[in-house]
Structure 1
Amino acid sequence: MSQLELRGIRKTYPGIAEETLKGIDIDIASGEFLILVGPSGCGKSTLLNTIAGLESITDGAIVLDGQDISTMEPKDRDIAMVFQSYALYPTMTVRENIAFGLKIRGLPKADIDREVARVADLLQISHLLDKKPSQLSGGQQQRVAMGRALARRPRIYLFDEPLSNLDAKLRVEMRTEIKKLHQRLGTTIVYVTHDQIEAMTLADRIAVLKDGELQQLGTPKEVYDTPANLFVAGFMGSPAMSFVPVTVARGERGPEAEVRGEDGRSLTLPLPDYLADRVGQRVILGIRPEHITQPQAQKQDSRLVATGAFTIEVTEPTGPDVIALIHLNDTPVHCRIDPEHPVTWGESAELMFDMKKVVFFDPETEQRIAPH
Structure 2
Amino acid sequence: MATLDLKQIRKTYPKADQETLKGIDISIESGEFLILVGPSGCGKSTLMNTIAGLEDISSGDIVIDGREVSHVEPKDRDIAMVFQSYALYPNMTVRGNIAFGLKIRKMSARDIDTEVQRVAQMLQIDHLLERKPSQLSGGQRQRVAMGRALARRPKLYLFDEPLSNLDAKLRVEMRHQIKRLHQQLNTTIVYVTHDQIEAMTLADRIAVMKDGEVQQLGTPNEIYTKPNNMFVAGFMGSPSMNFIYATVEMNNEQHPIIYIKTQDQHSHPIRLPDVMSRYCGQDIVVGLRPENITEKCSEESSKCTTINLAVDVIEPTGPETIAMFTVNNQVIAGRFAPEFEAKPSDVIPIHFELSKAVFFDVKTQLRLDV
- Which interval holds the TM-score relative to the shorter structure? over 0.9
Q: Which amino acid in structure 2 is aligned with residue 358 of structure 1? A: A
Q: Which amino acid in structure 2 is aligned with residue 281 of structure 1? A: Q
Kindly indicate whether the alpha-carbon contact (under 8 Å) linking 1:10 and 1:20 is maintained by their aligned counterparts in 2.
Answer: yes
RMSD: 1.0
- The one-character-per-residue Cα deviations of 1:157-207 (angstroms, maximum 9, x if unpaired) are 000000000000110010011000000000000000000001000000000
Kindly indicate whether the alpha-carbon contact (under 8 Å) linking 2:321 and 2:340 is maintained by their aligned counterparts in 1.
Answer: no
Which stretch of structure 1 is more off in the superposition, 317-326 or 182-191? 317-326
Aligned residue runs from structure 1 range 345-360, under 5 A: 345-360=344-359
Aligned residue runs from structure 1 range 1-372, under 5 A: 1-251=1-251, 252=253, 254-296=255-297, 299-302=299-302, 304-371=303-370
Distance 2:299 2:226 in 1: 22
> How many Å apart are 1:242 and its aligned residue?
1.4
Give structure 2 stretches of 5+ with no counterpart.
none
Give the secondary-structure state (helix, strand or coil) at the position aligned to 2:26.
strand
Give the secondary-structure state (helix, strand or coil) at the position aligned to 1:299.
coil
> How many Å apart are 1:263 and its aligned residue?
2.0
TM-score by length of 1: 0.97
How many residues in Structure 1 have an aligned counterpart in Structure 2? 369
Give the secondary-structure state (helix, strand or coil) at the position aligned to 2:19.
coil
Kindly indicate whether the alpha-carbon contact (under 8 Å) linking 1:295 and 1:307 is maintained by their aligned counterparts in 2.
Answer: no
In percent, how many aligned pairs have the same letter? 62
Distance 2:254 2:116 in 1: 67
Give the secondary-structure state (helix, strand or coil) at the position aligned to 2:243.
strand
> How many Å apart are 1:337 and its aligned residue?
1.4
Distance 2:101 2:7 in 1: 30
Distance 2:122 2:338 in 1: 40
Distance 2:124 2:296 in 1: 47
TM-score by length of 2: 0.98
> How many Å apart are 1:146 and its aligned residue?
0.1
> How many Å apart are 1:253 and its aligned residue?
6.8
Kindly indicate whether the alpha-carbon contact (under 8 Å) linking 1:204 and 1:219 is maintained by their aligned counterparts in 2.
Answer: yes
Distance 1:75 1:273 in 2: 58
Distance 1:206 1:300 in 2: 33
Give the secondary-structure state (helix, strand or coil) at the position aligned to 1:284.
strand
Distance 1:331 1:203 in 2: 33
Kindly indicate whether the alpha-carbon contact (under 8 Å) linking 1:51 and 1:62 is maintained by their aligned counterparts in 2.
Answer: yes
Q: Which amino acid in structure 1 is aligned with residue 7 of structure 2? A: R
- The one-character-per-residue Cα deviations of 1:104-133 (angstroms, maximum 9, x if unpaired) are 010111110000000001101000000000
- The one-character-per-residue Cα deviations of 1:214-241 (angstroms, maximum 9, x if unpaired) are 1000000000101000110110000111
Distance 1:300 1:3 in 2: 45
Q: Which amino acid in structure 2 is aligned with residue 312 of structure 1? A: V
> How many Å apart are 1:289 and its aligned residue?
0.7
Distance 1:235 1:348 in 2: 30
Q: Which amino acid in structure 1 is aligned with residue 228 of structure 2? A: A
Kindly indicate whether the alpha-carbon contact (under 8 Å) linking 1:119 and 1:147 is maintained by their aligned counterparts in 2.
Answer: yes
Kindly indicate whether the alpha-carbon contact (under 8 Å) linking 2:6 and 2:26 is maintained by their aligned counterparts in 1.
Answer: yes
Give structure 1 stretches of 5+ with no counterpart.
none
